[in-house]
Structure formats: structure tokens, C-alpha cells
Amino acid sequence: MNNRIVLARKVVIAALVITALAVNLGAFTRLVDAGLGCPDWPGCYGHALWPNEVHEVAAANQAFPDTPVEADKTWPEMVHRYFASTVGLFIIGLVLLCWRNGPRKLSIGLLFMVLLQGAFGAWTVTLKLWPQVVTLHLLGGFTTLALLWLLFQRLWQFKWPENSGLLAVKRLAIVATIAVVMQVALGGWTSSNYAALACTDLPTCHGYWLPTADYQEGFDIFQEIGPNYLGGQLDNDARIAIHFSHRVGAIVVTLILLTLLLKVWRAGDYFARRWAILTTFILTAQILLGLSNIIFALPLSVAVLHNAGGAALLLCLVTLNHRLFTMATNAQHAAVEQRV
């Protein structure tokens, strides 16, 4: 095997680990309200790390009087930035390694994605946590992780045995992936608008199965920019609309995934059934984490794990789609060869 591909296999594993950490560090930063812990970009109060000494803090407070230094919020933001920058370096390395013999287009797509993520990271700060940008930044992180996972699958050439019965779930697998992405976006919109605790009871919301909610304001993606979205600006009814939509979305996604899992189990072999068991476990954990967020008033560890669970579900679906598309492509090639 080409030495570049052997090295690329190792690099993509490292990139996956760093990206997963960066995605969850981003969630941690958002949940501890540290998104504006550093009011400038790419530095932090003009520092490569963050102001730590007494004289550095005093100088930073003088330079940024509207955003005084909060020590517990500067380091999460900068640690997240440096992890994200490290992801970029790994992806540049993957582009170089895959240029001749590897999945070149996929690696180039990853490079463009991580550059766009850098821009979203900057806009998150300069636009003062504008929910549209924060949500896109979250989706960009998930997309980067998913593309790296796909590159990992392709470099290692993972595949399942041919199974015509499994090909019947190909369309449903795509639908399930779209549904999970939409639910992740709803989760990001819920978090960026500080609507996670808009409903604090279960299974109702403020005692109603259909609570009073302002969906027009809650999903106004053309809301004005600024001055500062830390803590959110929407009225309570708008936040209820967002939160309740995320709940309904969770039910819809669960039903779609359960249908997919049942079909894969019935048509699958040993490998497909192992995938179904793992995905069922992650889905169950994700549901329990979502419920725990409401019951226990958004504990930090639970909220971060809920973010990680969403990413894990997405990677499970990327795996299934990759296997199915590889299987379908191989079947097409076999059919062509038989005709010849």
C-alpha cells in the first residue's frame, strides 16, 4: 500500500479525535456562557492565550471597558479556538497526503469546510453570538466531523458483505440522516437562543400539551444583528416555540430511526445488526440525556453529553449510508461485468 495512504489513515484518526474534542469544547464554551469570553479575535484581549497576570487583566479591562475579563470564561474560548486550529492543520496534512492516490475531492471539501468554520468562529465573536451564526457554526462542526468520519471509512475501505435486502433501506437511511441533521440544527437554535429551559415540565410544557408559543418570532432567521445575544433576546413565547419544536422533532426523529433500525435488523447480517444494536444504544442514551436536561434543569455535563450524542448518531448514519452506497456501487459494477 502507498506510504502516503498508510500515513493518511493515522492522521485521519488523530483528526477525528481532535475534531470530536473541538465540537464538544464548543458546546461546553456555549453552555458556560463563554462565547464572548474573549471579545476580540483571533487573540484574547490582545493575547495569544488570555490575560492571566494582574497587570495583564488591568490592561485588558482598560482596553475593553465594556467587556471586563472573566477568568472562568477566557480559557474555554481560547482552548476551543486552539483545538479548532489544530483540526485545520490536520486537514491540510490530509489534503497533501490524499492529493495523488486518496480521496482528493473529499479532502479538499474538508479543507473548505474548516476554512468556513474559521470564519463562523470569528463571526460568532464579532457579531456577538448572533443565533444564526452560532447555529451554523455548530452545524459546521458536525459537518466537519461527519466528513472526516467518511474520509476515515474510505481510507480504511470498510464495507459489509453484499446484501440485496439491505439496499431496500437506502432511501430511508438518507431520510433519517436529513432528519437527524435538522434535529441537530433545532438543538443548535434552541441553545443559541437560550431556550433549553423554556419548558421545565414533562411531558407537557407549562401544563399544556400545546403551549402558547410565538413561532413567527422564534424562527425569524432575519432578526437584526446585535447588540449582544448573550443570554438571548427573544420573548418567552418565542423561546417556548423553539423548545417545543425541538421536542416534537425528537419524537419524529426517534420514530424514523426506529423504523430504519427495525428494517436493518430484519434484512441485515451480523455486521448490520451490530450497527443496529450500537445505534439503538446511542439513540436510547440520547433520549435519556434530553429528558435529563429538562428534569434536572440543564446540568452542564448532561448538556455536553447530549451534544456528543447528537454527533454520535450522525456518525452512525454516515456509516450506514457509506456501507449502502458502497454496496450499491459494487452491485452495479458486478452487473456491468456480467453483461460484458
Residues serving a catalytic function are 77
Which residues have C-beta within 8 Å of that of residue 63, sequence separation ≥ 6? 45, 46
Q: Output phi, psi for 249, to 5 deg.
A: -60, -40
In this structure, the number of other CB atoms found within 10 A of the CB of residue 82 comes to 15
- Taking alpha carbons only, the member of 85, 79, 67 closest to residue 126 is 67
Alpha-carbon gap, residue 165 to 217, rounded angstroms:
46
330: amino acid identity, one letter? N
Put residue 269 in one of left, alpha, beta given phi > 0 → left and psi -120 to 50 → alpha.
beta
Q: Position 120: which residue type?
A: F
User: Is 291:254 a contact under the CB 8 Å cutoff?
Assistant: no
Residue 9 makes CB contacts below 8 A (sequence gap 6+) with 155, 156
Length of the chain equals 340
Q: How many helices (H) and strands (E) does the chain have?
A: 10, 0
Residue type, 201: D
Q: Quick one: 1 exposed, middle or buried, by C-beta within 10 A (0-12, 13-18, 19+)? A: exposed
User: CB pairs under 8 A, 24+ apart, for 266-274?
Assistant: 266/165, 267/163, 267/165, 267/166, 267/168, 267/169, 268/163, 268/165, 268/166, 269/160, 269/161, 269/163, 271/160, 271/161, 272/160, 272/163, 272/166, 272/323
